[in-house]
Amino acid sequence: MSDKESRPRNSEATKAAILDAARHAFAANSYDTVGLREIARAADVNVSLVIRYYGSKERLFAVCLGDAAFDALLRDVPRERLARVLTRLTVMAGRPGLLAAALAEEHGREAADHDIDAAVLAACERVSRILMSSINSRAAMPLIRERLEADVLDHLVERIGGTHAREKARLALALMVGVALVHGVLDDGSPPSGAAHGDGKPPQLRLTEDLMRAIIEELPGA
């Protein structure tokens, strides 16, 4: 009998270790290339325990995607500031400290004294990385689609409201995902840079906000 099989374990601690290993694996690699044995090795457990607690890679991936509460980052944001907040979620993705400060500012609080839940923010960042890592996986796509619709798109539709809310929400989400993909390929995680406009915003932030505002505001004649 191996050490892994004979060593006494707390079931909740074991489940947590497996889930943490899966989060890291799916954030770093595509769903297609991650295996349960790899996750088991990282969690220092036998693969049979992974199957016992989570059933399959598909189920484990779904649990990892369910970590985030994206709606919590948009809660209580006035409608007129929604484009600004979505822009910061888009451009500051992968920059947790800057994102937390930017969201605190949008919520009307000083960055040094905000009450944005750090755990919520970290979970949203983590799930975003998992989504981006497997965005091209045909096997993972049904799970990703389900999670994006339930946790992001439906909340955007509710917050945007008005005419053509779902179409606007889909375009806003497309902009967010597209910018995140470009960040993943081209950026090094540093803050947005470049010569600021008259409003003091870096060009990337200002231009993205202009696009986001054009998407979610009422259409002329609607």
Rounded CA separation 141/60 (Å): 15
pTM: 0.75
Q: Nearest-5° angle of CA 39, CA 16, CA 30?
A: 35
pLDDT band at 161; cut points 50, 70, 90:
confident
Give 54: exposed, middle or buried? Use CB within 10 Å, 0-12, 13-18, 19+: buried
Which of 38-52, 132-146, 194-208 shows the lowest per-residue confidence on average (mean pLDDT)?
194-208
Tell me the domains of the chain and their CATH numbers.
Answer: 6-64 (1.10.10.60), 68-218 (no CATH)
- Looking at residue 89, its pLDDT comes to 78
Rounded CA separation 213/81 (Å): 9
Structure token pair of residue 197: 């406009």
- Looking at residue 159, its pLDDT comes to 86
- Looking at residue 8, its pLDDT comes to 46
Rounded CA separation 220/125 (Å): 35
- Looking at residue 34, its pLDDT comes to 97
Q: Nearest Cα to 21, choosing from 41, 7, 48?
A: 41
Query: How does pLDDT run across 179-209, given as a tens digit for each residue?
Result: 877 766 665 555 555 544 455 566 778 888 8
Is 17 within 8 Å of 41 (Cβ atoms)?
no
- Looking at residue 107, its pLDDT comes to 59
Say which residue, 152 or 54, is predicted with more confidence.
Answer: 54
pLDDT band at 168; cut points 50, 70, 90:
very high
pLDDT band at 99; cut points 50, 70, 90:
low
Which of 94-98, 141-145, 148-152 shows the lowest per-residue confidence on average (mean pLDDT)?
94-98
- Looking at residue 222, its pLDDT comes to 46
